[in-house]
Chain A
Amino acid sequence: GAVVSQHPSRVICKSGTSVKIECRSLDFQATTMFWYRQFPKQSLMLMATSNEGSKATYEQGVEKDKFLINHASLTLSTLTVTSAHPEDSSFYICSASTGNSGNTIYFGEGSWLTVV
């Protein structure tokens, strides 16, 4: 299947700082990538849809100024958590669509963010 890579897999940052998470589609071009957040024992929550070359579309209740998304190329989208707080600690996962007739969506490995 298609490969989606996320980096870093784990990151610890101090409260008030910003942290960037990268999502790359390794063997296909992804015009659309999605960013999810998952708290322990809860389901995936879609945060935003990242479109190459245009502004991201955020889900209701997600602060776009806090979670900055940039999709500068067909293989890279980044999520920056700005002014992080302990309540932002979560598992962040990106996914990308292969865009073929199946439009199957594959997930990255996820990034554990801990804000201390």
Chain B
Amino acid sequence: QKEVEQNSGPLSVPEGAIASLNCTYSDRGSQSFFWYRQYSGKSPELIMFIYSNGDKEDGRFTAQLNKASQYVSLLIRDSQPSDSATYLCAVKVDKYGNKLVFGAGTILRVKS
């Protein structure tokens, strides 16, 4: 079992819709969870991070964490074509120190 799993997609949503991206992780010792966006040929950029169970909102983005079920999700409201990218879920696992374990990423396509 991979430590961090994401559906590779592509996930296609119409412009203005809500895009829901999901990520599961295997290590219950995981403490910190990150969502990165990566455009083709570019470096990942941090969207948001979450540490506590529940929701965390930042603009059009909402991260949701459920440690009991070991999943973290990212909701993008009012999706725009510019949101089309690969979204990487990353988990910081205590046993690896400060190292992030990345999922393979989900391709999101927002169609206008």
Contact = CB atoms under 8 A, between A and B. Distances in A.
A and B from one assembly?
yes
Interface of A: 1, 6, 32, 34, 42-44, 46, 49, 91, 93, 95, 97, 102-110, 112
Interface residues of B, number: 22
Contact of A43 (B45, B98, B99, B105): B105
B88 interface: yes
Q: Is the interface of A mostly helix, strand, loop or mixed?
A: strand
Contacts of B92: 103
A106 B97 CA distance: 16
Nearest to B102: A44
B43 A109 contact: yes
A74 to B, nearest CB: 15
Contact of B99 (A42, A46, A107): A46
